[in-house]
Structure 1
Amino acid sequence: MPSSNPLVSIIHGSAVRVAAVALLAVGLGAPVAALAQAPGDAESSTTWALGLGVMSAQEPYAGIGRDNTALPLLQFENQYVNLFGPRIEFKLPSLDIGDSQQLNFGIVGEYDGSGYEEGDAPILNGMEKRRGGFWAGGVVEWSSSFVDVSAEWLADVSGNSNGQIVSLGLARTWRVGNRVLLTPHVGASWQDEKTVDYYFGVRESEARLDRPAYAGESAINIEAGVRGVYMFDKHHSVLLGAGVTSLADEIKDSPLVDRSTTNSVYLGYMYRF
């Protein structure tokens, strides 16, 4: 079963960086393995890869600049599980629909480094710390020769926000020669009011003159981007991509936020064993 294509990043704060690594996991890790596999080996092989990536991401909170970080990359995949960075997917049996279509199912979990603490920016001084946590849920993908459509549901099982997120994504991968994969993608991510309120709300006890109380409501973010893989040979590859997310009004209206979009770019190298 091929790995699901990436959905929309969970845009909470420092989660921009962590979610982008998750995009590397499902968006670039599997294609690297696919390029190097011989036909018919996909179901039986186990792949390992190690690498290093550089991420530059813009967070939505006022007064916080770009976060530039070097990140170690680890991938493991077989017919039952796909692990890359902070995300793991347990693959369920897939359903073939004709010669060129397939329904893939999986149980997913990922660590999300969302949140902030006092001192991260002046607008956050006096705010109670907001924590990231572990999210888990399910994913289904309709894969075809024309487009891949993915739907994912995640819940905050760590109990910090007690929120839920539902995402829908569309992606199309083009293979250019024997070395290059290019994948433009678009998507939407619905976050419930508990998620938005936890990360972007301002409690009455936290309100001040320039930071009035604010109760978050459910919101839908829109995301678009492109990612790619260049394979030098079956062992060495370069991963790259960029994406931009348009924040929903319910997030932009928060007194903690001073922008309408966030963005991330990344570049990585992987060695496949």
Structure 2
Amino acid sequence: MSSAAVWCVSAPLSALAAGPGPDDGKDGNGSSWGLGLGVVSTQKAYRDFDRENRALPMIQYENRWVRVFGPGLTVKLPGVQLGPTQRLEFGLVARYDGSGYEASDAPILNGMAERKGGFWAGGRAAWKSDLADLGAEWTTDVSGHSKGQRLSLTLERTWRLGNQTLLTPRVGANWLDKKYVDYYYGVRASEVAAGRAFYAGKSTVNAELGVRGMYLFNRHHSMFVDVGVTSLGSGIKDSPLVDSSTENRVFLGYLYRF
């Protein structure tokens, strides 16, 4: 079974890593850490690809210099305060991405070579204000499997509903380069079969809508849910491996902060 379902939630979870407040769960040295468990349900766009439901452990740690959550690591760089309510933040990012498949994952993939996930690294920048948060992130496949690149833009805003509930809707766009699309959605000459024509992937842009909710029982215990729907770009939809124009994901988790 593909491990994509386990790690596709890394982007939403990295936003949760900052936590519900500046002091919650932090010790005297300004660090915080926690443990949790999540369940993710994902529907990929590959033809006849069964919905994946997986449980995964979560580890969270943050201090002045680094942030760790799930499969992702952020090294914080100096930011710029633009005013009382505006700030620019910068960082270096690295994460494991389990995108990919094995030939046994769906009938359309029979006879296809395995497509592997890998480690991605790059940089991020974020403009944060009382109005909204705007983030940009560029990463490249440092494992060398796809040799691809990705660029994402995300706009989100968090509303606090009472003292215990946070609600964060978001909209985003993700650019995937030709190498990425060709590796995960292309069909090589040696893989051509009846109902599966040769396909050379091309760069594309996916759009995403999502919402994240968090309920804080107290300073230690919290639960959250993240729901996202991705509209696939033509570079992916045109692939003979794909029979859907969208993908969706639901993630439910619990976190204990020490």
**Given the two structures, how large is their TM-score scaled by the length of structure 1?**
0.90
Number of the residue aligned with 2:160: 175
How many equivalent pairs are there? 257
Number of the residue aligned with 1:60: 45
1:214 to 199, 208, 228: 199
1:190 to 175, 199, 206: 175
1:128, 1:44 → 2: CA distance? 49
- Alignment partner of 1:73: what SS? strand
1:42 Cα deviation after fit = 10
2:218, 2:5 → 1: CA distance? 31
Number of the residue aligned with 2:8: 19
Call closer, same or farther: CA 1:197–1:42 in 2, change over 3 Å.
farther
Number of the residue aligned with 2:78: 93
Number of the residue aligned with 2:57: 72
In angstroms, what is the RMSD of aligned CA positions? 1.6
CA contact (8 A) 1:28 1:228 kept: no
- Alignment partner of 2:179: what SS? helix
The residue correspondences of 1:127-142 to structure 2 (distance < 5 A) are 127-142=112-127
2:222, 2:178 → 1: CA distance? 40
Number of the residue aligned with 2:24: 36
2:239, 2:81 → 1: CA distance? 45
CA contact (8 A) 2:5 2:53 kept: no
Is residue 200 of structure 1 aligned with residue 188 of structure 2? no
- Alignment partner of 1:259: what SS? coil
1:16 Cα deviation after fit = 4.5
Residue ranges of structure 2 left out of the alignment (5+ in a row)? none
Q: Deviations over 1:231-262 (max 9, x none)?
A: 10000100112010000111011010111100
CA contact (8 A) 2:125 2:135 kept: yes
Call closer, same or farther: CA 1:227–1:43 in 2, change over 3 Å.
farther
1:110 Cα deviation after fit = 0.5
Call closer, same or farther: CA 1:68–1:180 in 2, change over 3 Å.
same
Letter of the aligned partner of 2:165 in structure 1? V
CA contact (8 A) 1:115 1:199 kept: yes
1:162, 1:190 → 2: CA distance? 15
Residue ranges of structure 1 left out of the alignment (5+ in a row)? 1-12
**Given the two structures, how large is their TM-score scaled by the length of structure 2?**
0.96
Q: Deviations over 1:64-84 (max 9, x none)?
A: 111111111110001100000
CA contact (8 A) 1:147 1:171 kept: yes
The residue correspondences of 1:113-132 to structure 2 (distance < 5 A) are 113-132=98-117
1:17 Cα deviation after fit = 3.6
Number of the residue aligned with 1:5: none
1:123 Cα deviation after fit = 0.4
1:173, 1:163 → 2: CA distance? 32
CA contact (8 A) 2:50 2:106 kept: no
1:14 Cα deviation after fit = 4.7
- Alignment partner of 1:143: what SS? strand
Call closer, same or farther: CA 1:266–1:35 in 2, change over 3 Å.
farther
1:175 Cα deviation after fit = 1.1
Letter of the aligned partner of 1:51 in structure 2? G
2:241, 2:74 → 1: CA distance? 33
